[in-house]
A and B are shown apart, each in its own frame.
Chain A
């Protein structure tokens, strides 16, 4: 059954919400500026609730089951956070309200800044970016501002590993940089020799992810950092994979100068179907003056004691990156998470995340090709190439997993692994779930040999089967025309 759209449910005269009567005299309306037609749907509240409730039931979500999307850290979203984020003291405050009226909010932001600084080993933190890519843009603009401030206008290149997430080169281009790719070696590390070859004074910095998108810790990280720093460049670290390093290592101690974090990955705030996120950016002491403005700061006042305030007096700042303060509602959830876990809890997160991923690696090793046979961190990457030889591609494996009750892992990324399957279980999954996933993956591997059509035609159990993406792109239908 296809779910009708709101426009198909609409019927003239239906009213959804009653508003109060006007309690002041009417003023003359600006006739020439009035619109004639507004074709929004007319549906009742009951229909609205039914419609969206039924739509929600078409979704797979973390609350429904295992969601091992590599690089996304689909960990459980604690329900306490949903409750506290909705307190009126947090939702009903205006970003321009006078600071004396919002000290609780500013204190929360300040403490969150401090927490993230401590976890990363990078003292300067901005909470303004609202997504990872936004934090990346912020970070790379800081890199650019740093070099210009030193009077160095010759750095026009940014280096990016061949395993990089697409946002990395896209971000570098948005900052006006040319992007050069550095290959990985046979162990899945960035090739330090190749890096040395291309690193020079035209390079503003290296954008890397550690652990990288293969789920592997960069074994030469200290050497890599030295190579870049010695030539006057900066290291930008994509912190999407921070779930592997909480309490295990601080990026700031591994040569990182700029880092972005994903509150909606590592710090348990919900993904929301594609946002809202939180993309805090953390930098070294030296780079702190370039952070976006405002930063939440603290001062001691004689009469009122501790006062939190928004510090706008930052002449070297790259400027604002958000219209207001960033995703405060998301920050509340990350803050609650950090207060619940503490240092010991955070370390347990990474230990369990890494153990779970290695367990899956070990259990799937004989069934799928493993391009880099070494201990992974919080995610592992397989290749579906053995199955591809039998005519079953990674996309088919993914769709068949849906039939078996699991959300597929990330597929076809990173680009350096053919038919890639990137699996990140996170720490919030039980051994039973992991074993069930392993069984399912092994079953599919068998089916690829004995009943390949079953896999190629999957999924068989979903509300819709495979969708025609080619037609959707050739003849885009992006809105309802009635």
Chain B
């Protein structure tokens, strides 16, 4: 027997004897007889070497990014993960620990979360950050619920340039509370349609939710929007790409009230969609309405510095139905990867990564629009941009696939006006050779090859 069970039959016999029982079955007599010991129709158990082989086989059936240059982004990004990150995250003391409810034996986890909170505040320019949410999408959804709580209003305006999946999760999360969600469209520059936003923003609205850079890759100045929002007593919620914040003005300096984002780019692999990590930060005055765990600094009985979970009464295990959220387990280990990544990159490294993305993306865009039949839409961008293709995007991607290249995101999925467009992403992981290869392959389509 394994199942990672140390006890032997002899051990079990001794224990049963101590209990005055004859068999294990006696422990389960409380289960109704008809439902007891159901047959489980599962495959035979495999030994470790067989499981390893099986999993290798499944992994090999996937075409991975180590073997295919990738220009696909749309919320999940191929960024560099330094070796240090996995080395730390693999330490058993970190990954086999539980939530730090007993602080005296959890200072490792608690200290690193405090560092995480600090760095998220620094990146976003906000006053307080929590210990993490599940992902960017649920962080956004919780921000919507929080804005409604804080303002006691039940309307939300959401930019259509906010990630489509995130908007879907927001709708799922708010369906039970009955929030009125309206969308504001985008203008020619790819940013929020200002006039429309102005019309929609009234005193029934709890907040305006935008993305920076937005889903179409575009950058916009948030200050004018923040003025509109605050004029009606609503909150500005900004969803960020944290890599971009290595280069760009943070939303905190543009008067955002709540900032959320997806931390996957900071030291975590794509992993087919998860585990990722939601970033959540807000202004000091909203601290007690913030969902999620918080770690605070304090001292012990001898005056030594230490860290504890704090403001727990807001959370589910104490406040129960009046909690700010039901969140319990979050993404602590992924947040640790973020912390390690930001530590190893530091102020210069993160800026450099952002610049590499920016310049490479602009080089790619410039080369592509020089090809006949291709056009770039919208204004300023960071690492993603939209191109109109001479052939249907599915054909373009198929052609790229034949050349061993993973192409862009087909915007027809979510934007009826952009069915002939692809969203391309370029990061520091794309070499000039790869970009040139992409451009050559795209050029073959344009010229009818």
Contacts and interface: CB of A to CB of B under 8 A. Distances in A.
Is A–B contact present in the complex under a CB 8 A cutoff? yes
B308 interface: yes
A63 B96 contact: yes
Contacts of A60: 97, 102, 105-106
A55 B342 CA distance: 16
Residue from the set B111, B137, B295 with the largest chain A CB neighbour count within 10 Å: B111
A57 B108 contact: yes
B46 to A, nearest CB: 5
Contact of A166 (B61, B318, B329): B318
B343 to A, nearest CB: 5
B62 A105 contact: yes
Interface in A282-340: 292, 318-330, 332, 335-336, 338-340
Given A29-B358, A48-B344, A170-B325, A219 B30 contact: yes
B119 interface: yes
A344 B43 CA distance: 10
B145 to A, nearest CB: 8
Contacts of A67: 98
B196 interface: no
A173 interface: yes
B349 to A, nearest CB: 5
A442 B76 CA distance: 52
B249 A34 contact: yes
Interface stretch (A1-9, A194-202, A227-235): A1-9
Contacts of A59: 93-94, 97, 105-109
Contacts of B47: 340
Category for how many chain B residues contact A: 35 or more
B449 interface: no
A169 interface: yes
A64 B114 contact: no
Interface in A23-38: 23-27, 29-30, 32-35, 38
Given A43-B343, A248-B37, A407-B102, A476 B296 contact: yes
A219 B145 CA distance: 39
Contacts, number: 658
Interface stretch (B227-235, B368-376, B428-436): B428-436
B103 interface: yes
Contact of B1 (A165, A343, A348, A402): A348
Contacts of A61: 92-97
Given A119-B40, A345-B2, A430-B7, A137 B326 contact: yes
A161 B253 CA distance: 47
Interface stretch (B181-189, B203-211, B332-340): B332-340
A167 B328 contact: yes
A113 interface: no
B128 A249 contact: no
A56 B93 contact: yes
Given A462-B105, A472-B310, A321 B169 contact: yes
Contact of A430 (B6, B274, B311, B347): B6
Nearest to A222: B32
A104 B54 CA distance: 11
Given A84-B51, A137-B326, A329-B275, A45 B104 contact: no
A19 B349 CA distance: 8
B75 A324 contact: yes
Given A94-B78, A95-B273, A131-B327, A464 B321 contact: no
A344 B45 contact: yes
Contacts of A329: 271-272, 274-275
Contacts of A443: none
Contact of A477 (B249, B297, B353, B406): B297
B225 interface: no
B153 interface: no
Contacts of A355: 12, 15-16, 24, 27
Contact of B74 (A41, A96, A140, A219): A96
B304 A320 contact: no
A428 B316 contact: no
B248 interface: yes
B97 A167 contact: no
A85 B183 CA distance: 39
Residue from the set B102, B109, B300 with the largest chain A CB neighbour count within 10 Å: B102
B343 A6 contact: yes
Residue from the set A2, A58, A292, A346 with the largest chain B CB neighbour count within 10 Å: A58
A131 B333 CA distance: 13
Contact of B272 (A93, A132, A477): A93
Contacts of A150: none
Contact of A107 (B58, B171, B310): B58
Contact of B98 (A2, A69, A165, A219): A69
A86 B338 CA distance: 17
A261 interface: no
B247 A34 contact: yes
B45 A462 contact: no
A480 B135 contact: no
Given A166-B320, A270-B95, A248 B36 contact: yes
B36 A324 contact: no
A37 to B, nearest CB: 9
A2 B3 contact: no
Contacts of A10: 346
B365 to A, nearest CB: 9
Contact of B118 (A7, A275, A351): A7
Contacts of A91: 64, 269-271
A236 interface: no
Contacts of B104: 399, 402, 459, 462-467
B355 interface: yes
Interface in B160-187: 163, 165-166, 168-169, 171-173, 175-178
Contacts of B435: 24
A328 B272 contact: yes
Nearest to A101: B63
Nearest to A129: B134
B150 interface: no
Across chains A and B, which 3 residue pairs bring their CB atoms closest together, nearest first?
A: A89-B59, A324-B273, A342-B45
17 contacts: A40-B119, A49-B88, A53-B91, A58-B111, A61-B94, A61-B96, A63-B92, A89-B58, A89-B60, A130-B134, A140-B176, A170-B325, A172-B321, A271-B99, A463-B104, A467-B298, A473-B313
Given A330-B275, A462-B105, 13 more contacts: A98-B401, A176-B176, A253-B38, A254-B35, A268-B4, A271-B95, A275-B334, A318-B175, A328-B274, A349-B5, A431-B11, A476-B296, A479-B129
